Amino acid sequence: MFTSIPSLDSILQCLLPAFTQPSFQTHIEVLLGWVMCLSKRTEYGVFQTIQADTPVSRKRRHPFDRFYNFFSRSAWTVPNLAHQICVAVVVRLNPRGLLYLVVDDTLLHKHGKHVWGLGWFRDAAASTPKRTVIASGNHWVVMGLAICIPRTNKIYCLPIHAKLHRSGKGLPGEAALAKQMLDDVLAWFPERKLVFLGDGAYSAKTLLGKLDPRVTYIGVMRGDAAIYDPRPPKSPKGKSGPKPQKGPRLPSPREAVKKAGRRQGGPWVWHTVKATAYGVNRTLKVMSYQAVWPRVLGLTPILIVLVRDPLGRSRDAYWFTTDLSADPAWIIETFSRRWSIEVAFKASKQVMRIESPQHWCQESIEKLSPWVWLMQSTISLWYLSDGRKLPQARVARQRLGEWDTEWSLRHMLRVLHSVILEQTITTTSATKADLHELLRQLGNYLSLAV
């Protein structure tokens, strides 16, 4: 059986309030089994890794009930575990300043008529602007904390919350689930201000209708959005009836971009700004103005920012924010943080193998995937705070190829593999020569496997 390491234990101990003592011990064993598993990460494969010193056969009764029950019957809940992990991440990596929250949804492919919560949803990874792909699976809305890695300019996303989205009448949509998770984070940090980033699916009244004043939202706006001047005209004296609450209708973002392209006067004029977007310094054309969007935010004024790449490498972007005094360059740089959650989704599928488990009951479906995302954040937190300082991390950095980076989850997991192995295989495990040879072979094997 593999043993934990002190630097990881200091983080895991922060999660103790989310579990009972027996469940906490099982949680540590399952995490170590998930990290050290070199085969397909089904539940059975992970549990076999935990009991690696004892051969287990499917033909006989296996001793894995305790591990299966950890997801299907244990009393711990995802919000409580998310709370503890989020606090640990904020305390270690973002103790002061704004908290940048990113929300997005992803599809975990599943098949089988008995899988709970299964549905047919748009597969964003396989779809293109001209072709929409529909696939079967569990659809998740995930919230992450986009932090700047200390002493670097690299933006990294750590998933901190997740909720299952089910299709059907009367069930909450993506925006409603995002609202629930946002309310949780606001309750966890009552004195912090947040910047919330979302794409077009979350620019909805369900999420933004009664937005907390501590939250600044930056999102994507529809190209044909019906927007109006926030300054209502003066009513003529003696005119009866209610006074107008908004001004005349303004051109939609798509129409405003066309007007600016014709070089007309008035507010429809491009301005040049320099901003760092997606890690690259760029010179962009920007047009900003205030408006109200009654369908989404009622009569609350918003700042609309339209962005065009003069080199034509990307399509025009239509963004808006609830911060009327925000600088357009800051909005561009801030919204580019949203891409970090796409990187986190890719890592969860390709490195953590979140789609491999073949569970089907409601309790396991609702717990296992969020647990994997939260453990992904735990591993990232360990590496960013302590793991990168270890000798094994320095050795691993020297082996990085031209296209590799130490900020990838694959690299972090590889370092954790090595540290756990050296902690588990001690000098009493074999003779000194046998031990060094075994470590060398295992190190080569793990480099190939991971």
Three-state helix/strand/coil letters over 131-144: ECCEEEEEEEEEEE
Question: What is the mean predicted confidence (pLDDT) over 296-317?
Answer: 93
Q: Is 370 a residue whose pLDDT tops 80?
A: yes
| Amino acid identity, position 343 | V
Per-range mean pLDDT, top range of 235-249, 251-265, 277-291: 277-291
> Which residues lie below 8 Å from residue 232, measured CB to CB, with a gap of 6+?
243, 244, 245, 246, 247
| The predicted structure's pLDDT at residue 50 | 84
Domain 79-232+244-345 has CATH 3.90.350.10: yes
Kindly report, residue by residue over 309-347, the tens digit of the pLDDT: 999 888 999 999 999 999 999 999 999 999 999 999 999
- pLDDT for res 239: 75
Residues of the chain with CATH 3.90.350.10: 79-232+244-345
Pick the closest to residue 406 from 104, 151, 31, 132 (CA basis). 151
161-208 residue pLDDT tens: 999 999 989 999 999 999 999 999 999 999 999 999 999 999 999 999
Contact between 245 and 229 under an 8 Å Cβ cutoff? The reply is: no
Angle at 44 between CA 43 and CA 48, to 5 degrees: 120
pLDDT band at 450 (very low <50, low <70, confident <90, very high): low
Judge if pTM exceeds 0.85: yes
Predicted confidence at residue 368, as pLDDT, reads 97
What mean pLDDT comes out for the span 289-307?
96
In whole angstroms, give the CA distance from residue 19 to residue 35: 20
- At 42-69, the pLDDT tens digits run 888 898 888 765 666 666 656 788 899 9
Query: How far is residue 335 from each of residues 180, 224, 342, 347, 407, measured CA to CA in Å?
Result: 22, 21, 13, 21, 20
Q: Give the 3-state secondary structure of residue 349.
A: helix
Mean pLDDT of the chain: 90
DSSP string, 159-173: EEEEEEE--STTS--
d(CA 251, CA 229) in angstroms, rounded, equals: 10
pLDDT digits 0-9 by tens, 389-444 = 999 999 999 999 888 999 999 999 999 999 998 888 765 656 667 666 666 656 65
Q: DSSP for 263-319, please give it.
A: T-STT---EEEEEEETTEEEEEEEEEEEEE-HHHHTT-EEEEEEEE-TT-SS--EEE
List Cβ<8 Å contacts ≥24 apart for 107-114.
107/135, 107/137, 107/138, 107/139, 107/140, 108/137, 108/138, 108/139, 108/140, 108/349, 108/354, 108/355, 108/369, 109/135, 109/136, 109/137, 109/355, 110/136, 110/137, 110/138, 110/355, 111/136, 112/360, 114/360
pLDDT of residue 237: 77
With a cut of 50, say whether residue 448 has pLDDT above it: no
Distance CA 408, CA 343 (A): 9
Dihedral of CA atoms 175, 177, 180, 182 in degrees, nearest 10, equals -60
Per-residue pLDDT, 428? 62
Report how far apart, in Å, the C-alpha atoms of 82 and of each of 145, 374, 376, 417 are.
12, 7, 12, 24
Are the CB atoms for 37 and 49 separated by under 8 Å? Answer: yes
How far is residue 96 CA from its own chain's centroid? 20
